[in-house]
Amino acid sequence: MTTAEQFVRWACRLGPVPGVAGIRLHLADDVLGLWQRTEDAFGEGRQPPFWAFAWPGGQVLARYVLGHAGAVAGRSVLDVGSGSGLVAIAAAKAGAATVTASEVDALAAAAIVLNAQANGVPPPALVGDVLDGDGAGADVVLAGDVCYARPLAARVLPFLERAAARGASVLVGDIGRAFLPRGRFGVLDARDIPVMAELEDSGVKRAMVWAPVPEAPCWVHE
């Protein structure tokens, strides 16, 4: 039987992340083909292999964290919807005291561990769905590209609000997808990020780092 770790190694190639210097991930380049292979190996009804791709929200957020290490250094960090682990790995590289990755996909969990090892950082603590809570224990809550579907956004946004209300610093990476309520966030940073045209509708996307409005006093453009 193929293990999740063997499958990630078999299905992906370790390589650089477009737009995020200094981090390498196990990545695939054929979304639908990999989704089919995932179902062949582990059974039907699996969610798409989000973990095998870097998403623009995660790319811009990882880049921001690496460039603003003070946002996470010495602090406990929770990465929600971690996928490949890109944002969690960036937090570890930026000096977070502890990093926890929240994921619901067992293949993603395997990818997160492999990707952390490939980048020379300790694998983050892995937890499942924490969205009914407030991220207790985390000084910083990071969320890269988790507003891609209405049901998930409907749980993530109240979760982020609860985390912010208890004093956590909340940062969201997102291209401004339909389910992100822009009026409740301000933009801390914005970058043109190379993305897979197969996943998005073009090869480059403007991606932003968002924070709850009181923490986002200005726009930063490059």
Ligand X SMILES: C[S@@+](CC[C@H](N)C(=O)[O-])C[C@H]1O[C@@H](n2cnc3c(N)ncnc32)[C@H](O)[C@@H]1O
Question: Considering the rule CB under 6 A, would residue 212 count as an interface residue with ligand X?
Answer: no
Site for ligand X in 117-156 (CB under 6 A): 129, 131, 144-146, 148, 152
Residue 198 C-beta: closest distance to ligand X, Å? 14
Question: Considering the rule CB under 6 A, would residue 49 count as an interface residue with ligand X?
Answer: no
Residue 63 C-beta: closest distance to ligand X, Å? 11
Question: Considering the rule CB under 6 A, would residue 171 count as an interface residue with ligand X?
Answer: no
Q: Are 138 and 83 in contact (CB under 8 A)?
A: no
Residue 88 or 214: which CB sits closer to ligand X?
A: 88
Burial of 94 (0-12, 13-18, 19+ CB in 10 A): buried
Question: Stretches 1-9, 30-38, 52-60, 159-167: which one binds ligand X (CB under 6 A)?
Answer: 52-60
Question: Considering the rule CB under 6 A, would residue 159 count as an interface residue with ligand X?
Answer: no
Residue 57 C-beta: closest distance to ligand X, Å? 5
State the Cα–Cα distance between residues 147 and 177, nearest whole angstrom: 7
Nearest to 76 by CA among 98, 100, 102, 101: 98
Dihedral angle of Cα 137, 212, 89, 15, to the nearest 10 degrees: 160
Q: Are 120 and 98 in contact (CB under 8 A)?
A: no
Question: Stretches 35-43, 46-54, 67-75, 114-122: which one binds ligand X (CB under 6 A)?
Answer: 46-54
Establish how many alpha carbons lie within 13 A of residue 203's alpha carbon, considering only the half-sphere containing its beta carbon.
0
Question: Considering the rule CB under 6 A, would residue 55 count as an interface residue with ligand X?
Answer: yes
Q: Are 38 and 115 in contact (CB under 8 A)?
A: no
Site for ligand X in 61-90 (CB under 6 A): 80-84, 86-87
Residue 70 C-beta: closest distance to ligand X, Å? 21
Dihedrals phi, psi of 38, to nearest 5 degrees = -65, -45
Q: Give residues in contact with ligand X (CB under 6 A).
A: 50-51, 54-55, 57-58, 80-84, 86-87, 102-105, 108, 129, 131, 144-146, 148, 152
